Amino acid sequence: MATMANGNFPSADRPSPTAATTRGISSAGAHANDPTTGDAIGCGRRVISAHKRNKAPAGRRCAALRTPRRPPGPTGQRNKPSQPGNPPIIRPTRQRDEYSPAHIRTRPQRDPARHPSLPSPPAPSRPIPSSPIHLASFRRAAAMSWWWTGAIGAVKKRQDEQAAAAEPTYQSVALVVGSTGIVGTSLLDILPLADTPGGPWKVYALSRRPLPPWSPPAPSPAVTHLHLDLADAAAVAGALRPLTDITHVFYVAWTSRPTEAQNREANAAMLRNVLSVVVPNCPALVHVCLQTGRKHYVGPFEALGRVPFPDPPFTEDMPRLDCPNFYYDMEDILFDEVSRRDGAVSWSVHRPTTVFGYSPRSAMNLVGSLCVYAAICRKEGATLRWPGSRVSWEGFSDASDADLIAEHEIWAAVDPFAKNEAFNCSNGDLFKWKQLWPILADHFGVEWAGYEGEDNRFKLEEAMAGKEAVWAEIVRENELIATQLDEITNWWFVDAMFSVESELLDSMNKSKEHGFLGFRNTVNSFNTWIEKMKVFKIVP
């Protein structure tokens, strides 16, 4: 099968995504490439004389390249290389249960200490490809599919790697602005991994508030946390001006204000305060990632339903809407600031849809708010009722896994084919909330009810008013981390997401055409983030 022009391979040549999206935790071994040959290091390739290699049958030749070096036999001698004039010596390979060469990620195993309630993964069933062309594509695709290796459970892998690390040297230095947010949390999990492209990464993590009590117990030594208010221009300048080694900026912060006019003023000032310091003072700076979202296509919350927007699926080349939008202001600031470096600094804009992730304090943590709603229903013996519209219940929706967004942004930061472009970022599949609602109810052991007609619709913001004492009792009874109800929920945001009256869907074609083939199974993603909320004792 032929490769695409950018060096990536069609999805048919990729291994099964089951391991990357299994419910609960996913991680993978690191891989590296030999800088002279491009082959994966640690593959155990058998040496075959170059002038004889092509005489071996194609399928057996690939098998020989994959055969690991065997220990000495009974005579104490290892396999001898082929002699001139004789066919190469090729030993049969033993049957493998799964993709087990060191350069191919194996099925992750559950860590009982961190995920005691998760079932063991199913036994592998897919055989190793035998076609030589397919096998070659499979090997390259596996080595290039780095976005699968981040996934959930990156914290555990990072902790294992840092224990063996000794005085690392860093190839790239990231400034993550909004590091305790829903995507910033995933960036901090994935950037320090040994096999993250562009790495090893040193990370400056910038957030307004100190680390919450549910942060990982052993932060990576590669990460330095800075706490300041982005609205304070003097404080931002004082903190960032000494950081002259920054090479990449990941701006994933935002603030919510009552009106769009206030949103425009506040968010524009925050971004300008950061870029006006970093861009001129960091000579090694090469790229700035800016995260916005779907409101680029449908308008701000206060304009939903009043400003016409284009028919979905939304594509990146659609024009801006004729209405105020702080996303547009942030893009213009980005373009203006990077232009001051005369092309030395590239940019990318990332537009996720509804984000599924783990950040209990995030203003857009939909999964977390739903978990709290379900826990309160269980405590009160109430039914988990659907609060939204018929369209939201029965229509198709899409979502963006927070880890996938982080991987998408890292890809754009280091891949030359992704420079100076805007990209949608969603999981690549579709779902219906009528499919996820029973899953949510099952996690918390409650009865559920779907769409019950317009006359029975309600708003969670009103239904959950005055539940602070109920939540405090839930926290105490289940020995959860002490949190306030208004700290970890955002009911108006849930109401806004579930009140849409048309299907809103993105297209991921542009990302695929530029070389990003990452994806997530949304159902598995939904399960994963619920489990993580439970494991870290945020919800019962």
Query: Which residues are known to be catalytic?
Result: 295, 327
- Kind plus residue range of the DSSP H or E element containing 251: strand 248-251
As a dihedral over the C-alpha atoms of residue 51, residue 56, residue 62, residue 64, rounded to 10 degrees, the angle is: -90
User: Is there a contact between 205 and 226 (Cβ–Cβ < 8 Å)?
Assistant: yes
Strand partners, 385: 449
Q: CB-hemisphere CA count at 13 Å for 179? A: 28
User: Is there a contact between 144 and 8 (Cβ–Cβ < 8 Å)?
Assistant: yes
User: Is there a contact between 378 and 443 (Cβ–Cβ < 8 Å)?
Assistant: no
User: Is there a contact between 22 and 105 (Cβ–Cβ < 8 Å)?
Assistant: no
Lookup result for tokens 């330095």: 224
Which residues in 334-443 belong to E strands, given as ranges?
346-352, 354-356, 384-385, 399-401, 421-425
Tokens at residue 369, please?
């708010």
User: Is there a contact between 134 and 140 (Cβ–Cβ < 8 Å)?
Assistant: no
User: Is there a contact between 434 and 393 (Cβ–Cβ < 8 Å)?
Assistant: yes
- Kind plus residue range of the DSSP H or E element containing 162: helix 154-164
In single-letter form, the type of residue at position 108 comes to P
Other CB atoms within 10 A of residue 234 CB: 9
As a dihedral over the C-alpha atoms of residue 209, residue 193, residue 415, residue 4, rounded to 10 degrees, the angle is: -140
User: Is there a contact between 45 and 129 (Cβ–Cβ < 8 Å)?
Assistant: no
